[in-house]
Structure 1
Amino acid sequence: MTDSKAATLRATDTPGFDRRLLPPMLLGSVLNPINSTIISVALVPIGTALGAPVSQTAWLVSALYLATALGQPVVGRLVDIFGPRRLFLLSTGLIGVAGVAGALAPNLGVLIVARVLLGFGTCAGYPAAMALLRSEARRTGRDSPAGVLTALAVANQTIAVVGPLLGGLLIAAGGWRATFALNVPLALAAVLLGLLRLPKTAGTGAPQPGRLAARLDLPGMGLFAAMLIALLLFLMNLHLRDWYLAVIAVAAGTAFAARELRAATPFIDLRVLGGNTPLLATYGRALVTYVVAYAFLYGFSQWTEEGYGLTPFHAGLAQIPLFLMAIGVSVVSGRRPGVRAKLLVGAAGQIVACLVMLTLTGTSPLWLLILVALLFGVPQGLNNLALQNSVYVQADPERTASSAGLLRTFAYLGSMVASSATAASFGRHADTGGMHRLAWVMLGSGAVYLLLTVFDRTLGRVAATDAPAAN
């Protein structure tokens, strides 16, 4: 028997990825982007109904990301220890509670609380999916299939872009409260799929009760929470009068670093992370690219309604070209090894799209808005996929879920910057001048993203190791 035939026989005999895991993985991972994006076209109707200006309704965006940015790495660490099943079921159940609270909310304050609950509830989906990929790779002895990684990226991109259209449809049919009520059936479906499909043991093994606190590193988690909350609150409303928040963030960050460098089992292993320059660069790229992506998603959507005059439904409909382009780009590029080319083209796409945004006015033809959406579809399809694949290859295999959670945390930091930039650019009304100011912020972030990619020589190594077997 020739070597090639023997290799083919071994590959055939090797068990493949368990496709029964795909439905809960995909549904769990999209619960966050659907709640992130569906609110974009609901902000104006909510503000009108509750008498709240743009600067106050922006908290509906910020609250979810504040909770999720804090919760993702924490829940990711719990997933690494206990496996995905328990955390998935608890988190998705919380989403149903949040959906009911939001649908019945009498005022903006209760709505913000509901968004916080949604943020914590959607923390487990993506880290659980990445942990399942890693556990399946160990079980089968083969790397996770490129098709599954691409499916995760495409599902998140699909929901992220179709969210505004879905939001517009729900608002047209049942008002803005329907965008919260949608979470109830989604949560029920996720819980049922989790009970039926997720393995009961898939983590590194639950520690004995006496060792649990040490494995979780509760002091490290507390300092991380203090640092992140202070930082995000400062970013959400940049002003000199809030200087004390920056001081608190620096002080908590210093104490956090000192704690993690001494801890036997740190929450975030800074010694390993600090020596993993490629992963740190990936996190940096995630931060700046999400500044661009979410400034467009929220800021541009608000401008199309208030500055251009579209209804919430038509504002969502105007982003359909972005959805189609992003999916097409992801599917075409998903099975190709390497991420450097994807990141470079994605960076260029962001810059070109921002430049076209600067030409828009309240009297621009509709086709120009569609062109902007198409241009943003290219980086939407490439960047998320490339960042996800980079983390899968660059992270410590034993901390896959927490590393994936940190990727989302850096993305949410970017979304916080985007939210703050949107509020500062628009003030009380999303007019064309404010949209142009926001486009300049986006353009600067896109330029930083390009520089981080051009000067990162480690990206070539990902090409040699990220060619998973296609099951």
Structure 2
Amino acid sequence: MGCTQAVAPRTRRELEPGFGARFVAAVSLGSVLNPINSSIIAVALVAIGHAFGAETDRTTWLVSALYLATAVGQPTMGRLADRLGPRRVYLAGTVLVGAGGLLGFLGWSLPALVAARVVIGLGTSAAYPAAMAMVRRRARRLGTDAPGGVLSALAIAGQVSMAVGPPLGGLLIATGGWRATFLVNVPLAAAGAVAALAWLPRDEPREAGVSLRRALDPCGVLLFTAALTVLLVFLMRLAEPRWWLLVVAVALLGVLIAWELRVDAPFIDLRMLAHNRALTSTYVRYGVTMLVTYCFVYGWTMWLEQGTGRSASEAGLLMLPSFAVATAVSAFAARRRVWPSLVAGTGALTAGCGALLLLGRGTPLWALLAVSVVFGVQNGLNIVTNQAAMYAQAPADQTGAAAGLLRTFMYLGAIASASLIGFAYGARATDAGLHRLAATLTVASLVLLVTTVFDRTLRAAGVR
């Protein structure tokens, strides 16, 4: 498997042919489309609701639709990138993003906007797994490890663009209305396509006999989509659980497992995951990490507004240190060994969750800023190192699919976080609700810390 670490780049001269600034810029540009669309919609929900006379429980489908499409689309696009060529899939994704943006701009009803978000979600799912597949192929061709700077750039691009999403959305709404938050995808997709055509290496000729149907496992994709959809609907109303939906979701997962174990080229290679415990552990660790992180991002900001009486802009400003620190720490962690960085990251995550237990309406500003910084540190450490661990642990010929599945676990954590926040807060975010949420997150983080410290799959791979 190789050493599970984010390897420091070699000399500029050695890396220039395959990992120059243009290559990094092109793969990073495509990778920002998904996080931007994940966060930009937040400031447009109220305006869209007014435009179509829709309540919050209906407009939130604009958020959930993208998460669901991305959770399914990331491994799907990764699988296609491995088999049909990453550059082809990358370009196809930019076309879908542009089409989805245009559909949303013309949206005549809320269902049309939900459909547009699904198309955008599928399109933005292509860039990250395709980029990881291209990095693997270039590294193999050059006979070198992937530079830590390239992996760091992908992580930083996602973090920065997620932070930029809400203020960009506010600016677009102020100048062009909520439809502009969809239309902005057209020039962004065009820029991504131009950069890919100009700067990304051409794919090798497709293997004879590799059809779209054979590369995709349509039945596996449909079963996975159905199971996630039913599970999402169940999680959206945990306060009034409809247990029969959970039963249906579990049944569909059972059918999916049976099917994937039966076919020769499964959508999700369960046999590989069963034998590759290191990679499976990374997926679970990343999913739990992002569950806690998204609970902080959305739950903490909600409490700042409703629990302390701050404005939305003030709550947003208090999040800026977290994103800024995460960006700086990511660049640092990309050139460090994975296991120590993961231990430090999960330790910071645990400390941050514990600090939430101490917050209240009268907490001074400096303490709130300190909490924001701590979560920025854990974010920077955990994202780039889990990404590096996945890259080192995944089979070389399945890098795209493995990268896509990593993002699927991220969005499963995001979906679960919304349900957990609603369950802890109820009708309104209060100090007591924040403490209930923090207690749950602290326990989850402690378990994560202990399992990371004693994870022999990381240490056995040469990480100390």
Deviation sequence 1:378-418 (CA, Å, 0-9, x none): 11100001110000000010000000000011111111110
Which 10-residue stretch deviates more, 264-273 or 79-88?
264-273
Task: State the secondary structure of the residue aligned to 1:318.
Answer: helix
Distance 1:314 1:167 in 2: 16
Q: Work out the CA distance in 2 between the residues paired with 1:280 and 1:434.
A: 33
Cα deviations by residue, 1:50-70 (Å, 9 ceiling, x for unpaired): 665554443332221111001
- Which stretch of the first structure deviates more once superposed, 184-193 or 91-100? 91-100
Distance 1:373 1:172, change over 3 A: farther
CA distance in 1, matches of 2:153, 2:19: 13
The question of whether the paired residues in 2 share the 8 Å contact of 1:223 and 1:256 is answered with yes
Q: Deviations over 1:279-301 (max 9, x none)?
A: 01001111111111111222223
Moved more, 44-53 or 55-64: 44-53
**How far 1:88 sits from its partner (Å)?**
1.5
> Which stretch of the first structure deviates more once superposed, 425-434 or 124-133?
425-434
> Cα distance 1:35–1:430, how it changes in 2: closer, same or farther (>3 A)?
farther
Partners of 1:407 and 1:173 lie apart in 2 by: 36
Deviates more, 1:132-141 or 1:224-233: 224-233
Aligned to 1:130: 132
Q: Within 5 A, what are the aligned runs for 1:20-419?
A: 20-43=22-45, 54-105=56-107, 108-171=110-173, 174=176, 176-202=178-204, 206-208=206-208, 212-238=212-238, 241-336=241-336, 338-419=337-418
Q: TM-score, normalised by structure 2?
A: 0.88
Change (3 A) 1:367 1:38: farther
> How far did 1:374 drift?
0.9
Q: Which moved more, 1:340-349 or 1:76-85?
A: 340-349
Aligned to 1:455: 454
Q: Determine what percentage of the aligned residue pairs are the same residue.
A: 48
Does the C-alpha gap of structure 1 residues 12 and 438 become closer, same or farther in structure 2, counting only changes over 3 Å? closer
CA contact (8 A) 2:88 2:203 kept: no
Task: Please give the alpha-carbon distance, in whole angstroms, between the structure 2 residues aligned to 1:246 and 1:356.
Answer: 33
Query: Structure 1: how far apart are the matches of 2:310 and 2:397?
Result: 48
- 1:469 is matched with none
Instruction: Give yes or no for contact 1:39–1:164 (8 Å, CA) kept in 2.
Output: yes
CA contact (8 A) 2:39 2:166 kept: yes
Q: Residues 182 and 431 from structure 1, CA distance in 2 versus in 1: closer, same or farther, beyond 3 angstroms?
A: farther
Residues 67 and 120 in structure 1, CA contact (< 8 A), matched pair in contact too: yes
Matched residue pairs, number?
454
Instruction: Write out per-residue CA displacement over residues 208-257 of structure 1, whole angstroms, 9 at most, x where no aligned residue.
Output: 45755334322222222222322333233336752232222222222222
Q: 2:102–2:186: 8 Å Cα contact kept in structure 1?
A: yes
For 2:444 and 2:54, how far apart are their aligned partners in 1? 29
Is contact 1:166-1:316 (8 Å) kept?
no
- Tell me, what secondary structure is at the counterpart of 2:32? helix
Higher alpha-carbon deviation: 177-186 or 384-393: 177-186
CA contact (8 A) 1:339 1:463 kept: no
| Deviation per residue, 1:412-440 (Å, 9 max, x gap) | 11111101112333444444444333333
Instruction: State TM-score, norm by structure 1.
Output: 0.87
Question: After the TM superposition, which of the residue ranges 39-48 and 238-247 deviates more from structure 2?
Answer: 39-48
Counterpart for residue 441 of structure 1: 440
> Separation in 1 of the partners of 2:15 and 2:349?
44
Q: 1:245 to 1:375 in 2, by over 3 A?
A: same
**Residues 76-109 of structure 1: CA deviation (Å, up to 9, x unaligned):** 1001011122222222222223333444546544
Q: Contact 1:67–1:119 (CA<8 Å) still a contact in 2?
A: yes
**Residue pair 2:339, 2:463 contacting (<8 A) in 1 also:** no
Q: Pairwise CA RMSD of aligned residues? A: 2.9
C-alpha change, 1:435 and 1:344, in structure 2 (3 Å) is: same
Using the alignment, how far apart are the partners of 1:184 and 1:214 within structure 2? Answer: 31
